[in-house]
Amino acid sequence: MSEETAAGAFEPHRKGMAGLGGAARRQAKVRRRSRSSAWRGLTLLALFAGALGILVLTLLLGFFQEQATERARAATTSMAELVDDWFSHFAPLPYLLARDPRVIAVMANKVDAADLGWLNRELEVWKDYTQTSDIYLMAPDGTTVAASNAETDVSFVGQNFSYRPYFQEAMAGETGRLFALGTTSGLRGYYISAPIRDGADVVGVAVVKISIEPLELALANNPNSAFVTDQTGVIIMSSIEDLRLSSLGTLTPEAEAEIARTRRFDLDRLDQSPIVSAGSWGTGRPLVRGPSKEIGQGQRTYLHLTEPLTQNPWTLHLLHDTTMARSSALSWSLVGFSLCLAALALVALTLGRRRRLIERLNERERAERELERRVAVRTADLETEVKERRAAETTLRQTQHELVQAGKLAALGQMSAALSHEFNQPLTAIRTYVENAVAFHEAGKKERATDNLERVLRLTERMAQLSKHLNRFARKSDNDVHAVEIDAVIDEALALLSGRIERSDTRINQEGARGLVVLGGEARLQHVAMNLIGNAIDAVPGDRAPQITIRTELKDDCAQMIVEDNGTGIPSDVADKIFDPFFTTKEVGRGLGLGLSICYNIIRDFGGTMVAETRAEGGARVTVTLRLAKAERGNA
């Protein structure tokens, strides 16, 4: 075989081998492309998983932050209400103390502090009963005259606190409030003051100091940490002990000057608080770093929310620990990162819960609007109730005056028989004297006739005087309070009751001081005197002659009218009901039981008191205490 023939025979085989090599190369290229696509797919899948994990982490972190924020806001509102309610619980105390008649009398009469041991003990009882720190009374110059701690080593008596704003505000006629360190005790406290008024004048200041330790204990029992700052930025109370009496920010020169002037805090010990900014969770959700309320736990990151308080110009700060929110977000993000398919369902669930959260917020807004509507309706009802009560008070006073007038007319009716005798006897004597005068005149005995006519003149003057007493007693009394001579009132009452006194063979003894002038109404006070003297005569049994003692005394810048009898006294089982309306111990038909009740309310309207008791030697004693008109004008 020639070389050409052999070369031609192997040519197809070389071409076949060349075709097989090209296919292998194409297959290898395809495999390389497939592996490259797989790596790119894995890379994209990894990037997608990473992006999905980051997205899930971001969503979950935002979700838990939102939940934590809602819980923190709810806790902030709740704790703000707790603080406001706690302080409002003590707000009425100084006003109750300032309206005590004994306190007003002590401050108006400027009683010396050495004579106020009884009042110091009374204030101590008030302090224990109301669970306050201290209660004390201050004179218009700022000097403490009585205090609940008068018997202790840190007594306020004699100390002057006129530099305190609560004293200055109360002397101006307003409620005083202040949080400060006690200059005597060195303890933190909340001071509430009220003016003590004697009429229109402010004669002193009543102050109640409240310890805030129980409130701090209540704040500490809350899972969240909280503290309260005043208008200068000083932390005045906190569930974290390290924050108390520190400054949340740098104090302004004006704030430092105000604190120094009122001695609220010790500026040398007022350090900067350890709370520092640590970013935020978004608008209105700042983060801070601060100490933990558990000792030895170090610094933590908190969500810092605030709420203004309504009772005082303060701000409540809530520190919500973010550790739980962060750990929960991280745990759920790891689960979401490993379970990519479940991440979409979790996102849908998150969106659903977000919608429900928005619905709850909308529902809360609707509830708030409904609450505002109910409050407006209730306010209108209260205003109507106040008007009705005022109208009822006016009607009550008018009824009282009408009862007094009816009592006078009833007394005149009861005295009608005696009045008939009082007028008939002089008229009979006048007729006799006139007949005798005519006879003497005809007989030429002018001196005897003149003597008879003079006797007629004296009898007519006596009848005119009796008629004048009756007219003054029967006229309708006025409602004003003015100066009244108590002696004239008693003499007028005795003159009107003279017939009854003579018929009952009653002996009247008048004792005590004369010329006392009290604040009251002449006609109404005369009604009280007649009622007390008439009751004293009725209280004596028929087997003995009534002996009535009427005594006027001067006691503690007040006048007292004391009526005593020799009757059976006041039974112990009715002593507490003697001034009740329609209560009487007389027989049926002899009284309605309104006399002493009306007298009691008349004296109370005059600013006085009435007390009934049984004397040790027997019989009853009724003591009427009234303000002196001269002392009242002097104070004005």
pLDDT, tens digit, for every residue of 409-442? 655 555 554 555 556 556 766 766 677 778 777 8
What is the mean pLDDT of the segment spanning 28-40? Answer: 60
Least confident range from 12-26, 63-77, 245-259, 282-296: namely 12-26
3-class state of residue 190 by DSSP: strand
Question: Is the per-residue pLDDT at 510 higher than 80?
Answer: yes
- Give the separation between CA 435 and CA 453, rounded to whole angstroms: 10
List Cα–Cα distances, 344 to 327, 353, 356, in angstroms.
21, 14, 18
Helix (H, G, I), strand (E, B) or coil at 206: strand
* pLDDT tier for residue 147 given thresholds of 50, 70 and 90: very high
From CA 586, how far away is CA 316, in angstroms rounded? Answer: 65
The string of pLDDT tens digits covering residues 163-207 is 899 999 999 999 999 998 887 777 888 999 999 999 889 999 999
Contact (CB, 8 A) for 181 and 266: yes
For residues 397 and 233, the model is more confident at 233
pLDDT at 1 over 60: no
632 pLDDT higher than 60: no
pLDDT of residue 364: 87
End-to-end CA distance of the chain: 158
237-246, 291-300, 494-503 — most confident range: 237-246
Residue linked to tokens 């008070």 = 393
Provide the sign of the torsion angle of the four alpha carbons 342, 347, 348, 352, taken in this order: positive
**pLDDT tier, 275 (very low <50, low <70, confident <90, very high otherwise):** confident
- Rounded distance, CA 437 to CA 439, Å? 5
DSSP string, 534-550: HHHHHTS-TTS--EEEE
**What is the amino acid identity at position 534?**
G
Question: E-assigned strands of 230-328?
Answer: 235-238, 246-247, 271-272, 276-280, 286-291, 299-308, 315-321
Least confident residue range of 114-118, 406-410, 619-623: 406-410
Residue 454 is predicted with a pLDDT of 74
Q: What is the mean pLDDT of residues 527-531?
A: 86
CATH of the domain spanning 477-635, picked from 2.40.30.110, 3.90.226.10, 3.30.565.10, 3.20.20.70: 3.30.565.10
**Mean pLDDT computed over 448-468:** 69
**Mean pLDDT to the nearest integer, 254-274:** 84
What is the pLDDT averaged over residues 263-271? 82
> In the predicted model, is pLDDT for residue 20 greater than 60?
no
- Which structure tokens are listed for 123? 């204030």
- Could you tell me which of 514, 458, 509, 465 has the C-alpha nearest to residue 485? 514
347 vs 632 pLDDT, higher one? 347
- Which two three-digit tokens encode residue 95? 């006003």
> What's the mean pLDDT in 271-299?
83
Token pair for 320: 């919500």
Segment 515-531 shows an average pLDDT of 86
- Whole-number pLDDT of residue 478: 56
Percentage with pLDDT > 70 across the chain: 76
- Quote the CA–CA distance of 221 and 219 in Å, as a whole number: 5
Q: What is the mean pLDDT of residues 62-66?
A: 78
State residue 270's pLDDT score: 82
Look at residue 475 in the predicted model and tell me its pLDDT.
54
Tokens 């620990």 identify what position? 321
Encode burial over 331-355: b for 16+ CB neighbours within 10 A, e otherwise: ebbeebbeeeeebeebbeebeeeee
Q: What is the pLDDT of residue 2?
A: 46
Tokens in use for 573?
């089982």
Q: What are the structure tokens assigned to 83, written together?
A: 């603080």
Which among 81-90, 330-339, 624-633 has the top mean pLDDT? 81-90
- Report whether pLDDT(130) > 60: yes
40 vs 167, higher pLDDT: 167
> For residues 290 and 196, what is the distance between their CA atoms, to the nearest angstrom?
45
Mean pLDDT lowest for which of 56-60, 246-250, 259-263, 450-454? 56-60
- Cβ–Cβ < 8 Å for 164, 181: no
Q: How far is CA 227 from CA 48, 80, 212, 288, 306, in A?
A: 46, 10, 12, 14, 10
**Dihedral, CA of residue 465, residue 471, residue 473 and residue 476, to nearest 10:** -160
Query: In terms of Cα–Cα distance, which of 1, 45, 65 is closest to 350?
Result: 65
The stretch 303-309 carries a mean pLDDT of 90
Does the pLDDT value for residue 19 go beyond 60?
Answer: no
DSSP letter, residue 445: -
Pairwise CA distance, residues 275 & 555, whole Å: 63
Provide the CATH number for the domain formed by 93-211 in this structure.
3.30.450.20
